[in-house]
Amino acid sequence: MTFNRNDKMFVSIFLSLVLIYTFPLLTQQAYYIDDLGRSLYGGLGWSENGRPLADVIFYIINFGLPITDLSPLPLILGLTVLVISLAYIRDYLFGDDYITAVLCFMMIIANPFFIENLSYKYDSLTMCLSVAISIMASRKSYSREISNIIIAVTLTIAYLSLYQA
């Protein structure tokens, strides 16, 4: 997929709105549930919960162990990837109706259940990546080409390895 000028404008405006909406989470200093243990011990521990790809991602962005609190970087990276994946399906779902796309996509971000996921300092990145990858997998699955089906299956395995059920 290539982004044209309108897609880049959509990503810029929508990402700005999302960052404004999540500003309280970006500036919070409190740890939320699992964050306290990770900040104290610096361990990964996502593989035990069925999220091995989360271990790999945090091992890479922390350049090894122990993992450190990089907030708000994981949340910003996660939201950026999520907005780009939503822009990826915007044209397919809404065509040139950018306002409707922003309103519908904000319902994903503003969902109270998703806001809880964004409250984690460590897990917010992998949870956003999981949603973004699932969006891309669903878009790829619309095409009946064998290459797109293989990509969709691979993406499905990836998002299941990022998000615990």
Asked whether residue 109 is domain-assigned, the answer is: yes
Asked whether residue 144 is domain-assigned, the answer is: yes
| C-alpha Rg value of the chain to the nearest Å | 16
pLDDT, tens only, 37-54: 889 999 898 999 899 999
Which of residues 96 and 82 earns the better pLDDT score?
82
pLDDT, tens only, 85-115: 999 999 889 988 999 999 999 999 999 999 9
Q: Which domain holds residue 96?
A: 5-160
- pLDDT band of residue 165 (cuts 50, 70, 90) is low
Which of residues 96 and 55 earns the better pLDDT score?
55
Asked whether residue 165 is domain-assigned, the answer is: no
Contact predicate 63/85, CB 8 Å: no
Asked whether residue 50 is domain-assigned, the answer is: yes
Burial class (CB in 10 A: 0-12, 13-18, 19+), 141: middle
Burial class (CB in 10 A: 0-12, 13-18, 19+), 132: buried
d(CA 127, CA 142): 23
The count of domains in the chain is 1
Residue whose structure tokens are 């904000």: 106
pLDDT on residue 127: 95
Asked whether residue 25 is domain-assigned, the answer is: yes
pTM equals: 0.92
pLDDT, tens only, 13-41: 999 999 999 999 999 988 888 888 889 99
Question: Which residues make Cβ contacts (< 8 Å) with residue 26, sequence separation at least 6?
Answer: 19, 72, 75, 76
Asked whether residue 82 is domain-assigned, the answer is: yes
pLDDT on residue 150: 95
pLDDT, tens only, 130-164: 999 999 999 998 888 999 999 999 999 999 999 87
pLDDT on residue 13: 94
